Structures are given as C-alpha cells and as structure tokens.
Structure 1
C-alpha cells in the first residue's frame, strides 16, 4: 500500500468529467457541478487501474502528522482563502467564463491572513515565492492542533502530546472484516495524512457516538481496503455503489502501482451520500487501548481514558461503541 505521506494533491476522477450549470451538491456558492462521463480517464488507464489497490474514501476532515515544537504533532487542514472582494471577483469570472482558467490572483493582497505556524501543503505550486491557489481559489495548507485552540477541540480529543499517542481506527491484523480502535504512537504516523471522523465531523455519516458522549478517531488514508471492487466501468461501478453491501461507501480511492491516485465520489455519479447505513459504521470493532495511558496524567473524562475502560470490549457495529456511565 502506498502511503499518502504529506502529499495533499488533487486526485483525478476515474472517469473524464464535464461541467453542468447546476448548483453544486458538494460546495455552497458553486453554481456548477462536476459530473462523471462514461469515459474512463486516460490517467487511470495509463496507470493500470485494474491492478490498483482499491480503498474506501472516508468522509471526515483531512489531517497531517509532522514535527512541531520538536515533537510529532497533528495538523489540521486549513485552506488559505480569498478576501470577500477577491472572492466576489473570482466568482464573477467563473460565472461568465464557466471556468476559472485564466483568472489572475494577487496572492499578497487577495488572500486572508493565516496563523503564523500555517504551512502550505506539499505539491502546492509556487510563483515568485508565493503559493498558487487551486481551481477553487484556495491554497491548501495545515495548522498545528494545539489544545488551547477550541476551534480544533475534536482534533485535540484524539491526540495526547505528553504521551505521544493518537487514537486510531484501523483494520484488525488478526480478524478479517473487523476494525480496531487503538492508541498509536504519533511517531509511527509521521508524514502521513489521515482522516478525522466522528460525532462532530461532516454530519457524522458513520453514526459514531452521541452529543453527550462524542466519539472521534483518526483513520490513515489508504488503510481501509475494499474487497472485490468493481471494474473501471461506469455502469458496473454505479450498480455496485447502489446495490452491493460493500458499496455503502462515500467513494473509492485507487492506489496504482506507479504511485498515481485515482478516485470516484458518489456525487460524481449523481448518487446520494450518505444513503442509509454505511459500510464502515456497520463493521464490527474491538477496542485495544490498554492501561499504558494510566502512566500519564490524562483527564478522567479524556477520550483515551474512556476507551481504556473499554479495553478488550467487542462491538458488533462501530456505530454501537458506547462508554459505560
């Protein structure tokens, strides 16, 4: 499996796409939709998509682990966005040209300020020393997650910097089809991107926790494999996503042998998400967060402590994970 590491790249769709003049289902204020055609993208064909590793596309918020203040730290996704005036000018250009190609930014003046520790994502292009915005007018980047910043409280809940640990959801090495929730050293996650999922992230499509007892976890990108994925055929892929129990996912990311990533999202195919119970939320899970967390001064209400009290417990569905009163 190829790890994404610190790469924050735009992943092409497995099918060629076209633009329709309809309100985007994915992005507010975008007056057009990008939809898939039935033609397979040459990038996928050239990368031998039929031999690629298919993994589940996860619906959360993207994170990154790298060094900050001399130790491994979790970083949250934070795009640098244009000012209101610059964004208005960009949207007007988009609407009149049906595209953003040819639009000129003044990065020094058109964009809002970001925290001093902010860094642009890898593979963001630069011109004259300034990062170049993507086709949505954003500059993808990262900001370190610090506990005192309440804006990232759910990110903070899955890391313990004194212990150097992160709460991770991943496939069990011992049991096929079973997931595990475990505490992993942050050092083992260095230069990886992960998805934060849970109660208070993106509408919680996986049904984790509750308002009273929030549950969150990190999932390494590319770690949740899809067994027996459909071939790279538009109709067969649509049927699989609609009719197969294994198709109750937001989408697929293919990891090709040459390092290329290719994806498909349900919205590319005009399909709803979520649509009933999700595959991830219905998978069995076992908790492996042992007593080593007791060695550290961790708040008794901390998520790590709550999971350590469930150590060894098995749940028939991920969405059924509940903490004892």
Structure 2
C-alpha cells in the first residue's frame, strides 16, 4: 500500500458534543444530530485553542496536492465506503444505539473496492495492517485527479498538467482586504490540502459561475484568517455567527501552536447555513491568470483561458466574476 496522504481522520469540535434524537441536518440517513454543549473540549484546551489562529472553514470538497507518477498532482477526496449490506447493518446499529460507536467491521469484506492508486488519509487507524473506518463508517483517503475521469471533471478544471499549474483563490499579498484568483505552480502547493469551491460543489453557497459557464477554484486550507475572531465561548461564538459580518461563514477552524486543529460548524450551534450572503462575497477580487505558453492546446477552451481573458480586472466579489462562453 502507498504511503498515507495528508489530513487527519477527523477534526474534533472545539466544544464537547451531545447527540439529539432528531434527523441530522448535515448527513443524509443519520437519524440523530450532533450538537455542541457549552463545555470547551479538553483536547482544545490542552492545545491552547485560546491562542490559536482562527481561519474560515469553507464549504466545498477537500483536495490534496502530492506526487503521482513523479509529478505534482491534485488528488480528490475519496472515502472508502461500506457495501450495501454492511451499511444496512451499520445504520441499524446507529438507529438502535443512537451512536456510531461500538460497531464491529470486517474490513476485508464490508468495504467497496477503490482504485489501485487510492491512498488512505494520514492518521487513519490500522488494525492487522489494514486501515479501519472512522465513527461514520468511512475510511478517508485520496485518488489522483486525471483528465479522463469524468467523476472529477470539476477538480480537473482547476489544474493544467501540461503547464503544471492550478487555479487558486487567495488573499492578495499586499492587501488583506483583497482576494485574487491566481495561476499557481503545483509544486508550490505540494503536501498542502485545499478546498475546491464552485458552481457544482455542495450547492454553490458562494454563487460562483453559472450553469452555462461554471467556475471552480482551489483555496488552500488556513489561508483565510478570521481577523476579529470571537472568544472561544459558546454564547459569544453563537452571537458572532448570527450578528457579525465576518460570521457569515460555514464555520471556524483553529490552528493551534502544537499543530492540532479544532473546528466548529454553524450546525453545531443550531444555526442555518447558508444564511444570506457569505463573508467571502464581501471582499473584492482581482484576476491574475496569464496565458501559459506550456499549457495544453485544449486549455484554450478551458477555465484557464477564460480567466486569462479577465486578467488584471477587479470585481466587487468573486461571485461577480462571470466567464464568457
């Protein structure tokens, strides 16, 4: 088996959580909700979350850049999932016990096959040399994004392997109140995780692109800092999400000094998402995508080419970046 990829199996909530006997707002088929209590998670306290860097949690799909066939490649998140029969047994256990814990898996027989190129995520637990599932019944992992795989066509739209480049949304290096869409060498993103957001991802809460001219972008994790972060206290965080302009985000991920990550989603606090316009769309954005001499000939008709036509232009928000057919 190949070496594990980045990202821990699950980022814990900054608060201790409890289970409510109501259908989950986040996971289909889950007949309970996981909600935050007012008690700060001891794991977060031990990692000194109070001095951690708070960053915006974006609503997209997780990606990873690492080597494949000797080159830097974009990898898509692909969790190894149980077969239908195993999933039925697992959901029956969930329904009767109101928890995912305590279920016994047969890893050899209970899980669907994955591509040979698949690698498990880092910190996935192992038993007898085999990766074992998390509490949701999945084994998190990665698969390389290749041009011919239609399942990952939106991932493929943000990379050009001929030019070894990716399309990234990030803060401008000279103005923290300005975002930029940039063409970045894949080698600069090696061993980083990123969020793919856009027209056809998670219902597109940021309003990017259109059905006719979709727009997708990669955002490196941890790059969008929450500059006026609330104190890590239940009521203050809930008020911040409800009342602050900066609080119009899906959640917060805290990056602690010891390397630990902790998070909170709006749904942990019983709050709706999306709820009106997003904070991401309150910031102007400039396009800095120049034509690439080494790009694939087909890329003249792709997203790189469309954005290069808008290079050096400024828009009031990333939502206003509209591509021409």
Same-fold call, TM cutoff 0.5: yes
1:13 equivalent to 2:13? Answer yes
TM-score by length of 2: 0.96
Cα shift at 1:103? 1.2
1:80-229 correspondence to structure 2 within 5 Å: 80-229=80-229
Cα shift at 1:46? 1.8
SS of 1:245's partner is coil
Q: State the match for 1:296 in structure 2.
A: 295
Distance (Å, rounded) in 1 between the aligned partners of 2:37 and 2:99: 18
Distance (Å, rounded) in 2 between the aligned partners of 1:268 and 1:45: 18
1:195–1:221 Cα contact (<8 Å) kept: yes
Distance (Å, rounded) in 1 between the aligned partners of 2:65 and 2:150: 19
1:282–1:319 Cα contact (<8 Å) kept: no
Q: State the match for 1:72 in structure 2.
A: 72
Distance (Å, rounded) in 2 between the aligned partners of 1:57 and 1:100: 25
CA RMSD of aligned residues (A): 1.1
2:285–2:314 Cα contact (<8 Å) kept: yes
Q: State the match for 1:254 in structure 2.
A: 254
SS of 2:79's partner is coil
SS of 1:183's partner is strand
Distance (Å, rounded) in 1 between the aligned partners of 2:75 and 2:8: 13
Structure 1 unpaired stretches of 5+: none
Distance (Å, rounded) in 2 between the aligned partners of 1:274 and 1:63: 22
Deviation track 1:265-284 (CA, whole Å, cap 9, x = no partner) reads 00000100000000112311
SS of 2:301's partner is coil
Structure 2 unpaired stretches of 5+: none
2:181–2:288 Cα contact (<8 Å) kept: yes
Q: State the match for 1:309 in structure 2.
A: 309
| Aligned residues between the structures | 320
Cα shift at 1:324? 4.1
Distance (Å, rounded) in 1 between the aligned partners of 2:296 and 2:127: 47
Distance (Å, rounded) in 2 between the aligned partners of 1:210 and 1:33: 33
Cα shift at 1:47? 1.6
Deviation track 1:166-188 (CA, whole Å, cap 9, x = no partner) reads 00000100112110000111011
